[in-house]
Amino acid sequence: MSGEWWDVAVIGGGPAGYTAAIRLAQKKWKVLLVEKDQVGGTCLNRGCIPSKALIHLARVKRKAETATPMGLSFAKGLVNWEMVQNWVQQVIGSLRSGLETILRNSGVVVERGIGDIIDEGRIQVEDGGGKRREVKCRAILLATGSVPAKPSFAPEGLVLTDEEGLFLPRLPSSLIVIGGGSTGVELAWLYASLGVSVTLLEMMPRLLPAADAEISDLLDRSFRRQGIKVLLSSRVTQVLPTHNGIEVRTESGETVTGSVVIGAVGRKPNPPQNAVSRLSLQEVSDLAPSRCYQWGQCLVVAAGDLLYGSGTAHGAIAEGVETARMLDQWLRFGQFPPYAAPAPVPYCAFCHPEVAGVGITEEAAYKQGRAITVGRFLIRASGPARIEGEGDGLIKVLADSKTGKILGIHMVGPYVTHLAGEASVLVSQGLTVEEGLKAVRIHPSWSEGIGEALWAALGEPLHSLHLGRR
């Protein structure tokens, strides 16, 4: 392939990169995708997929152990961790194989190696043996993602990253998770449900600081009822090895000891080594699609976690689609169209209860001085909740008080991540509460909860005695 010209060289095969590569190839452009490890990126190989596979296992165990009131008894679930990890690898391998097939059949050429920028319209690919070669291209898309941020308060290797925390050699007796964001709460619930004594520390006053406050508070209470020790407003200052494990100290003087410590303290951009210096940029975010970089006759853009440090796979996929659209226009007509930002990106946490939401939160609306109506529905009043023995959960709808436009939907409860798609449509399309109620939702189903919250926002609750409105 040396000396060949490519229309687009994509460096990084994660959700943003492979999505853009597939879309561009479908437009009949000649696309080279350079990936140093495995296609699918962090999400498929070390993040979303393995974590959700393990969480599914934990849910199966929980369901079995709570079925006695229904007249079904199981022996206490015993976890064969080695078999579990082998199964997780099978899941990852199957999905990765499918993605490789899609890329190949779409016409994307995938090359294993480390990609970097050399000069205008030229990149370098270094294979595993250190051999380097140059590739020429009309456009370069950087999508090299992010890496876990490592805490400064601990010696190297003492605190595991959130990625390493998914592939422990054995289940520990006790675990400390530092960080109460989405990744942290998922890891805490996962291991607690498998019988590990878990302490979860968050430096902010509540879990999931970016989520709606009422939703975060409900999750916090549920976690405590499930036996997870939650310490809020707890900024970690030091992590030390001791004779009986690892000691974590906080700014307020608290001390916690565990056999394993996982730091879920966010991620940071992982740009190619020479990208920023070669392009004379202040920072890698200058390569965002809205600020494309014209380098002579070559166009350079970036997408995904590389820009934001810590994003979501679904957000990266949406951005990959939009970036491919813009590159297609530039390749055809020589003009880079205005960037159309994707719809609001939902947040989520796959613990129990699950958390999902999209759009403005209640506290943000009040800070902005917006007049809103809030419709609330307690999930325990629904048929599916009674059938499955679930009690924790709330769905709330935020709407503009004057126009009725739906501004945000926030949820905590069983399977609410599966409702996030409907919530995203309602918010992103600018529908009103009355327009959202035109859809007929299956009974009995979890999706009825969104309808009930919409009814409550109108002041006309159906399957709830209280108004649930404020």
Q: Are 209 and 181 in contact (CB under 8 A)?
A: yes
**Rg of the chain, C-alpha, whole Å:** 24
Residue 247 carries which DSSP code?
A: E
3-state secondary structure of 340: coil
Question: Out of 243, 352, 410, 443, which one is annotated catalytic?
Answer: 443
| Two tokens, residue 212 | 């709606």
| Two tokens, residue 217 | 């508070």
146-148/160-161 β-pairing? unpaired
Half-sphere exposure of 291 (CA within 13 A, CB side): 9
Residue 127 carries which DSSP code?
A: -
CA distance 116 to 140: 10
Q: Assign 3-class secondary structure to 163-196.
A: CHHHCCCCCCCEEEEECCCHHHHHHHHHHHHCCC
For residue 418, indicate whether it is catalytic: no
Q: State phi, psi for 2 to the nearest 5 degrees.
A: -60, 135
- What are the residues whose beta carbons fall under 8 Å from the beta carbon of 133, sequence distance 6 or more? 1, 2, 124, 125
| Two tokens, residue 428 | 């992103």
Active site residue ranges: 443
